[in-house]
Structure 1
Amino acid sequence: MVGTAREHDVVVLGATGFVGTLLCEHLARQAPAGTRIALAGRSHERLVRTRAALPERAHAWPVLVADTDDAPSLRALAASTRVLVSTVGPYLQHGLPVVEACARAGTHYADLTGEVPFVRQAADAHDEVARATGARLVHACGYDAVPSDLAVLVLHRRVAADGAGSLGRVRLVASARGGVSGGTVASARGIAELAGRDPAVRRLLADPFSLSPDRTAEPDVPQPSDTPAPGRTVDGRWVATSPMGSFNTRVVRRSNALQGWAYGRELRYQEVAATGSGLRGAARAAGLTVGLPLALAALAAPPTRALLDRVLPAPGTGPDAETRRAGWFRMDLHAVTTTGQHYRALAAGRGDPGYSATAVMLGEAALALALDGDRLPDRAGSLTPATAVGDVLVERLRAADHRYVASVR
């Protein structure tokens, strides 16, 4: 496992980017005194400017020059730290060399990807090496997919403690307020382009168990649709396709399999997005159902992609400070166990979910990997938030005013 004889505890690669800067601000405010943090990126000048704008305690943090296209610089960076956090996306374009460097160096790694093909490629290429070196390679440590992944873990813990069987039907209803960054758009564009020209990628994206560590061992249990027709919940809210549900559900199923299907081999897990009540909620649900596949198709086609590039956020940009402060997220989970008992769970927090709240999630995951090693699950390799940091991350996020609770319904 990663020892203490490293120069740094945490290195943030991509520190000058939009989310990278927010992450550094969180670490500057919340990391315990004495935590050895460094900033990394391609430009020494930009790193120095970014550091100068951070809270005062960060002004002595080292700046390190590294490039995802420069393998020697990545190897040196990974060898210098206990944990390397990468905010350099799109990950399909820039991520695999970073994962490889960490796996080979025995360095823990965390990112905030929401890209199914990238996670699949990283696991296939580097899981075995990481297990041998003791590196935890932890994908999806932001809004996608920490709240989903940890909420199901908390739900499982409660059901198991009550002796109520295992999880059967679980449905997550997501509500949120926030903005969109250029990085998110770039990731969606990359996946749409790849799926548009590669049938194998389309098959991967359509497979509900596409991130399973052992696809052939998955139970023959039909999974709910990623694109359900608009409908209403018991409290009258309209729901429709969740934009990131097709990623988050696969992360949750991977967590289940990595734990020996501890949640249950009968798990049928779905995520939907709440759009409001009444006629307005119904219209939003219909618009989301129709508009999401059209938007992805437009991103995949060069002529319409060029038009969208003129109006969508550019890389390196994102929601302004007021939008980030006003944001929030709430995920309500409704479950029926194999014994027929009904449970509910909640994951919620303040701040723009994709940016302010994501900086908290990714920052606390990095600190857990760096500082809480003796309390983490005894696992290495290509992991998920629930299987790599699990209950420790739940504790950390609760301390940061995020809510994770489960109860009998």
Structure 2
Amino acid sequence: MSDHDIVVYGATGFVGALVARHLAEHSPEGVRIALAGRSESKLDAVKRRLGVEWPTLVADAADADAVARVAGSTRVLVTTVGPYAKYGKPLVDACARAGTDYLDLTGEVLFARRSIDDNHEVARSTGARIVHSCGFDSIPSDLGVHVLHQAVRNDGAGELTDTAMVVTSLRGGVSGGTIDSLRHQLDTIKRDPSQRRIAGGPYSLSPDRSAEPDLGRQSDIATVRGESVDPRLRGTLAPFFMASYNTRVVRRSNALRGYEYGRGFRYRELMSVGTSPLSPLLANGVKLGFGALVAGLMMPPTRFVLDRMLPKPGQGPAEKGHFTCDFFGRTTTGARYTARFRADSDPGYGGTAVMLGESALALLLDRPEGEGGVLTPATALGDALVDRLRAVGLEITASRL
């Protein structure tokens, strides 16, 4: 029997401490939780702030033996320590070998691809569920399409074809950890240009990329007219800054489910910049701005300046936030469906902490049937997580138009 039910690794960081607080407030009595990190004194400080008497485990992310002991001590391990390509591999490998369920917040294509290659079959043999991307990246995307598909299936309305998530409302800080992950992935591509093709491929996280349908060019950095997504949308839509990761997670879910969403399922993510006559200018400004950020981080002179301007890992939001993600899907029978995933909390911090904490409780207490492996939030947790998130106040709905 494991010593702990849930271990939060990285509990002294900003998001890690928020996850620990959520678990302290929402875990049923009797759930055995421990905090882990590099500093015992900082872990003790987190315990004092939370008013809990949980055990603490000291382990440096680079110490493979130490993280293996942490992984072997618990049923579910939650880690907020990124960039994951830099710090996360020993821990996810240890969990796969130990049969320990694992959850993280990565939005790094190259890390997730390596984890799939190295750990999927190992985790299947041990029963471990390795579930990457259990925060704002990529739970709204993955569960939004999950409930959209359920509505279509329940109505017998065919399969999904053109489907889009549109971020229609967003207020909150960009996570310093997200920026740091982008830096690290760009540095990896700069050192090894062959990684660019993996990072940019639309099916780069799929279990068998050669089995994916040829649906033509699928660009994540594009502006489109709102009416082309849904007749009720106005203005020009901008690319969503995490589309290049989230879309690959959703496509992996479709493939892992035997293409239940549809062999002709096309998925993209966009962001509203308003409906004024200036929306085309604003949308193209977002597109150009994202390209400029990537280019700036690739070149040493501008990287020096940007590193001092952008948020640092561990920095929290300046104010309370919220987000609304609306989904629009068409089916092979011509029907149209919509779904919504909404929360009144900062997407990169408070909202992410709730999603990650509830994912851990779902794996521990409501573990759906299924095999181990490197899975996605939808395929590992599905309805169990949807129900839990609804119970703590998130809006997740789907309906036919």
Same fold (TM over 0.5): yes
TM-aligned CA deviation for residue 222 of structure 1: 2.3
Tell me, yes or no, if the aligned pair for 1:192 and 1:297 is still in contact at 8 Å: no
Secondary structure class of the residue paired with 1:67 = coil
Displacement of 1:275 in angstroms is 1.1
Equivalent-residue separation in structure 2 for 1:113 and 1:328 (angstroms): 21
* Other-structure match for 1:7: 3
Scaled by the length of structure 2, the TM-score of the pair is: 0.96
Deviation readout 1:328-361 (Å, 9 max, x if unpaired): 1111111110111111111111100111100010
Residues 47-104 of structure 1 deviation map (CA, whole Å, 9 limit, x = unaligned) = 11111112x2xx2111110111111111110111000001000001011111001001
Distance 2:217 2:207 in 1: 17
Separation of aligned partners in 2, 1:48 and 1:164: 54
Report the 3-state secondary structure (helix = DSSP H, G, I; strand = E; otherwise coil) of the residue aligned with 1:101.
helix
The count of aligned residue pairs is 396
Find the partner of 1:397 among 382, 386, 389: 389
- What secondary structure sits across from 2:348 in the alignment? coil
Match of 1:293 in 2: 291
Aligned with residue 210 of structure 2, among 196, 213, 216 = 216
**In 1, Cα distance between the equivalents of 2:149 and 2:216?**
20
1:221-249: CA deviation from partner (whole Å, max 9, x where unpaired)? 22532111353344324311110011010
**Other structure's SS at 2:57 match:** strand
Q: Look up the match of 2:380.
A: 388
One-letter amino acid of the counterpart of residue 364, structure 1: E
Aligned to 2:322, which of 328, 331, 340?
A: 328
User: What is the match of residue 269 of structure 2?
Assistant: 271
Task: For residue 182 of structure 1, report the CA deviation from its aligned partner.
Answer: 2.1
Give distance in 2, aligned partners of 1:150 and 1:109. 18
Unaligned runs of 5+ in 2: none
Please give the residue correspondences for 1:355-374 in structure 2 after superposition, counting only pairs within 5 Å. 355-373=349-367
- What is the rounded CA distance, in whole Å, between the counterparts of 2:152 and 2:225 in structure 1? 27
CA distance, structure 2, for counterparts of residue 152 and residue 223 of structure 1: 21
Q: CA deviation at 1:202?
A: 1.1
Which one of 30, 33, 45 corresponds to residue 29 of structure 2? 33
Distance 2:290 2:86 in 1: 23
1:202 aligns with 2:186: no
How do residues 120-269 of structure 1 correspond to structure 2 at under 5 angstroms? 120-175=113-168, 176-222=170-216, 224-233=218-227, 234-269=232-267
Deviation at 1:318, TM superposition (A): 2.1
- RMSD of Structure 2 on Structure 1 (CA): 1.3
SS of alignment partner, residue 347 of structure 1: strand
1:133 maps to a residue whose letter is T
Q: Describe the SS at the equivalent of 2:327.
A: strand
Once the two structures are TM-superposed, the CA of residue 384 in structure 1 deviates from its matched residue by 0.3
Query: What letter is aligned with 2:378?
Result: A
Q: Match for residue 92 of structure 1?
A: 85
Distance 1:290 1:385 in 2: 31
Query: Are the equivalent residues in 1 in contact too, given 2:103–2:132 (CA < 8 A)?
Result: yes
- Point out the more displaced range, 194-203 or 208-217: 194-203
Helix, strand or coil: the match of 2:273?
strand
| Larger CA deviation: 241-250 vs 224-233 | 224-233
Q: Residue 106 of structure 2 aligns to a residue in which SS?
A: coil
Distance in 1 (alpha carbons) for counterparts of 2:359 and 2:271: 25
Deviation, structure 1 residue 406? 1.0
Partner of 1:116: 109
**d(CA) in 2 for partners of 1:145, 1:223:** 22
Percentage of identical aligned residues: 52
- Please give the alpha-carbon distance, in whole angstroms, between the structure 2 residues aligned to 1:49 and 1:62: 13
Query: In structure 2, how many angstroms separate the alpha carbons of the residues matched to 1:42 and 1:115?
Result: 23
Instruction: Provide the residue aligned with 1:345 in structure 2.
Output: 339
Query: Distance between the aligned counterparts of 2:68 and 2:233, measured in 1?
Result: 53
1:51 paired to 2:28: no
Q: Distance in 1 between matches of 2:224 and 2:257?
A: 33
Q: CA deviation at 1:287?
A: 1.4
**Selected match of 1:74 from 67, 75, 84:** 67
In the alignment, what sits opposite 1:19? 15
The one-letter amino acid paired with 1:381 is G
Alignment of 1:406 onto 2:398:
yes
Tell me the SS of whatever aligns to 1:130.
helix
1:65 corresponds in structure 2 to 58
- 1:377–1:390 CA contact under 8 A, matched in 2: no
Q: If the length of structure 1 is used for normalisation, what is the TM-score?
A: 0.94
Aligned amino acid, residue 7 of structure 1: D
Structure 2 distance, partners of 1:405, 1:302, is 45
Q: For structure 1, which segment, 339-348 or 191-200, has the greater mean C-alpha deviation from structure 2 after superposition?
A: 191-200
Amino acid across the alignment from 1:369: L
2-structure distance, mates of 1:89, 1:232: 35
Gaps of 5+ in 1: none
Question: Contact 1:194–1:201 at 8 Å: present in 2 too?
Answer: yes
